[in-house]
Structure 1
């Protein structure tokens, strides 16, 4: 019996040594042996949003024109959708596979302050199902997409965000209160609407549960702030050169994406912007951020696992 036990112990010990040896042979982490990120590639074909009726007069809503241009480009096999210089007011834009949304220098994509243009959609917040307003710039299950150029993408976040008095000086606070909105009971937080204030008093109001009806979510719509850019389950993504600013909540939010390059991007928000993160990488694989600036009042670069 002792001999059998001794033999078993010897076999276990040898097996353990074998596993240890295999682990020892594995190469150590090395900066010279990083994963290769798949790069985007686009046809040279260029479609201007003007061709589809977009107007840079500062008040025309260009949502349909811009989305029509993206859809047409996608159906033709991809290419570049050009946003010329000027201010272009728009609602939510959905990016499609093989399309590079390119902003010329001095081009501004100004997302509208009209909340009715943002439908309520099922989304995700740190792994939990959430109801939120549609993100201004979004894509789901798309491959080979890009937002590039030298222009500005503005999310009109100041129309959505609450502001704490402690984050402003007296002059700034007085100017903000003078614009309208409502104050919390203790007068320490400004809200853009009564609906937003009322919803702030609820526990996890945006969380999707069986007892919450569409009517309930509609009653707290103002409070359900979207992230400026949300790409979900997308592959081969390039964000380059563009300024992303004034987001309602987070600025850039890739979720469950793969092969993402963020190069020479400028993400900025006022330092008092509530939840105004620069970029939140959530459950992503193979990401490169280089030459970029994140000038925000909350997390600059945040890595999340969902």
Structure 2
């Protein structure tokens, strides 16, 4: 991708407030053929925002916090912990935004140019092929939507806290943007495979319930026996079906969720290693430190240095 490194890194902060009480704070990074946006907003009552894209692009929108706040004209919506990939033309379009009540809602957005997408395209991916062949519509659709994986949160956070500056920061962010996009490709390809799976719909629903349980209670002890009993699926189908559906084992997924949360607690909340170990369900900080090093290649204490 080095041949695409041309434009200097541009960092901007935007603040929007109107008479209805709608307020948004946004950090934006633009470089080469990539735009990154981190934004949070509050919105007292339903409203319509007309957005004018600065260029045509492939947009990946990640809903980080809260749910059900961005709704298309057709009534489609995006929930918390979901992402959507869509085309954006130069034509303006409307975003229907539901009230946030007393909560702040946040999102991250990755936009890449058509040329950059072409560099990433391969027919080996069913999602990329379907996406390229999909109709180009004026209003974004939610045809390519999936659940966020723990690693996606980690990459988004890494980009926000880039350890580099200047030209090296652009290279780092480009690499992370590609890594994030490839995770989306993997997730959407996997979703296509699920649609072709021989697993029964009821079993797929139960396996998603297991995954959701781990997402919410990763700090609690769990066992194959307990998860199978809780969701009403036999143990063999739980182990084999989870691997088929999510391309990882039950305990592999649990470890990934724990490690990504541990990294966040160390970097964002500045907790001590023993506090993090306890917070994510480890009885012994030493065991946690070994697992963290196996995952990230460094000891957790080094993130606080």
Answer 1 or 2: which has greater strand percent. 1
Q: Which has the higher contact order (CA 8 A, sep 6+)?
A: 1
Same fold (TM over 0.5): no
Larger Rg belongs to: 1
